Amino acid sequence: MDIVENYKKFLAEGKTERECVSQIIQLAEKNGYKNIDNADSLHPGEKVYVCKRNKSIALFHIGTGSIEDGMNILGAHIDSPRLDVKQNPLYEKDFIVYLNTHYYGGIKKYQWVALPLALHGVVCLKDGSTVRISIGEKPEDPVFCISDILPHLAQKQMKEIASEFISGENLDVICGSTLPLPENSENKEKNKAKKAVLDILKESYGIEEKDFYSAEFEVVPAGEPRDLGFDRSLILAYGQDDRSCAYTSAQAMMDVQTASRTMCCICVDKEEIGSYGATGMGSHFMENAVAEVVARLGAYSELSVRRCLNNSCMLSSDVNSAYDPLNSDLFDKDNASFLGGGLVFQKYTGSRGKSGASDADPEFIAKLRNILDAGNVAYQFAELGKVDQGGGGTIAHLAAKYGMYVIDAGVAVLAMHAPWEITSKEDIRQAYKGYKLFLEMS
Ligand code: MN
Ligand code: MN
């Protein structure tokens, strides 16, 4: 199957970081990777993965050279903007039952109303078991939705500024309803519909209201990726930032031959909220994983781990904003990335005077140009947008602190962070090709 069709399947089945990790583990095990916990020692050609809390994963393919000479690393993130369900989420108001949410990552709140939503997540029960839930993806499933004001009554709303006319607190998801009973009815019961929803949760999943305390539910757009356009050249799908790069990076790891340098692909959580937490790139996850690998190669020392990281090269596989012809004033066209233009390199991110940027070294960039040109990979160099129009960051600066060479390299995305994001199929192919060549780089 074409990489594009596999990518669409990955997106359809990977709407949360946990679902992406479990798919990457499946893919890796099918390709000869084993859990590092089951490997006492490692030798050239062997392949292992390290998983952190089911939300981040690192894959290693051991090279024939010394680990102290460094690795070729692809680093992507597998979290995407969404709505997280709060810990006390369920309430009924005037005959409608809602799930209260708190948004995650940079979203335009008004984009999340009036469209079908799905609920994905886990509920951890006191007995130690975990219930996995996905509702809203199968055609026969119910979906969820946030309502918006009808235009007829929106005079006041339409005058407000876009960041405020849908408030974060009101991004609550409809999940049930009841018929209003006559005022004088004797059997008028408070929270009747909420009780009905709780009965369904109990019956279908064995969950009680207090179990939301130890649950992690993510509300995401419902539905599968679709081909976009008469010519089917584009993909419309949720979560392409950054799963377009995570999938192509992981797939590239599956298809490489053992090389001199050890190859690594790390897919992390929490990038969209600043890479914090034990599963984010700001944690010690990567160096701990590398230490486990170095130990199994038989010559562990802190210095070996430091040398390995310091001598590594990394592509921070993250997306860039695609040039938008209808909003061309936001872009410096000569320094913008285009849908279908191939793998996008971004020398630095940040905002204003490059604040917060990890500025990539031209020595490293020259080396990359050389292998990509030799391998006929299409690529482009771009910035996010015009100077002083805004900005953003990736995980590049967190890898750079080890002293390794790193540059952002990914897929161009139109309508980034929208519930439905747009990429070009050709860019998915070029990213995969480029990542594979980089991994095998000597
Ligand atoms: Mn990203
Ligand atoms: Mn993002």
Q: How far does residue 30's CA lie from ligand 2's centre (Å)?
A: 30
Q: How far does residue 96's CA lie from ligand 1's centre (Å)?
A: 36
Q: How far does residue 271's CA lie from ligand 1's centre (Å)?
A: 7
pLDDT attached to residue 350: 87
Tell me the residue type at 256. Answer: V
Nearest C-alpha neighbor of 333 from the set 343, 342, 324? 324
pLDDT attached to residue 184: 54
Q: How far does residue 184's CA lie from ligand 1's centre (Å)?
A: 55
What is the percent of the chain with per-residue pLDDT over 70, rounded to a whole number? 98
Ion ligand 2 residues within 5 Å by Cβ: 241
Nearest C-alpha neighbor of 239 from the set 92, 395, 332, 104? 104
| Rounded-to-10 torsion of CA 197, 198, 199, 202 | 130
Q: How far does residue 436's CA lie from ligand 1's centre (Å)?
A: 20
Q: How far does residue 58's CA lie from ligand 2's centre (Å)?
A: 20
Whether the Cβ atoms of residue 433 and residue 379 lie closer than 8 Å to each other: no
Q: How far apart are CA 141 and CA 154, in angstroms?
A: 32
What distance lies between CA 412 and its chain's CA centroid? Answer: 15
Q: What ligand is nearest to the CA atom of residue 106? A: 2
Q: What ligand is nearest to the CA atom of residue 244? A: 1
Cβ count near 126 (within 10 Å): 9
Whether the Cβ atoms of residue 58 and residue 281 lie closer than 8 Å to each other: no
Cβ count near 200 (within 10 Å): 14
pLDDT attached to residue 393: 87
Q: How far does residue 33's CA lie from ligand 1's centre (Å)?
A: 26
pLDDT attached to residue 185: 56
Residues with Cβ within 8 Å of 145's Cβ and at least 6 positions away in sequence, in order, are: 114, 115, 116, 117, 173, 174
pLDDT attached to residue 186: 54
Q: How far does residue 51's CA lie from ligand 1's centre (Å)?
A: 20
Residue ranges of the chain whose pLDDT lies below 50: none
Ion ligand 1 residues within 5 Å by Cβ: 241-242, 318
Structural domains in the chain, CATH included, are: 3-80+238-439 (3.40.630.10), 83-221 (2.30.250.10)
pTM score of the predicted model: 0.96
Residue 402's DSSP bridge partners are none
pLDDT attached to residue 191: 85
Q: What ligand is nearest to the CA atom of residue 344? A: 1
Residue 200's DSSP bridge partners are none
Q: How far does residue 94's CA lie from ligand 2's centre (Å)?
A: 37
Degrees to nearest 5, angle at CA 273 with 26 and 112 = 85
Three-state helix/strand/coil letters over the chain:
CCHHHHHHHHHHHCCCHHHHHHHHHHHHHHCCCEEHHHCCCCCCCCEEEEEECCCEEEEEECCCCCHHHCEEEEEEECCCCEEEEEEEEEEEECCEEEEEEEEECCCCHHHHCCCCEEEEEEEECCCCCEEEEEECCCCCCCCEECCCCCHHHCCCHHHCCCCCCCCHHHCCEEEEECCCCCCCCCCCCCCHHHHHHHHHHHHHHCCCHHHHHHEEEEEEECCCCEEECCCCCEEEECCHHHHHHHHHHHHHHHHCCCCCCEEEEEEEECHHHCCCCCCECCCCHHHHHHHHHHHHCCCCCHHHHHHHHHCCEEEECCCEEECCHHHHHHCCHHHCECCCCCEEEECCCEECCCECCCCCCHHHHHHHHHHHHHCCCCEEECCCCCCCCCEECCCHHHHHCCCCEEEEEECEEECCCCCCEEEEHHHHHHHHHHHHHHHCCC
Q: How far does residue 126's CA lie from ligand 1's centre (Å)?
A: 35
Rounded to the nearest integer, the mean pLDDT of the chain is 96
- Give the largest CA-CA distance in the chain: 82
Q: Provide φ and ψ at 163, rounded to 5°.
A: -75, -15
Whether the Cβ atoms of residue 81 and residue 417 lie closer than 8 Å to each other: yes
Structure token digits, residue 27: 């893919």
Q: How far does residue 262's CA lie from ligand 1's centre (Å)?
A: 25
Residue 396's DSSP bridge partners are none
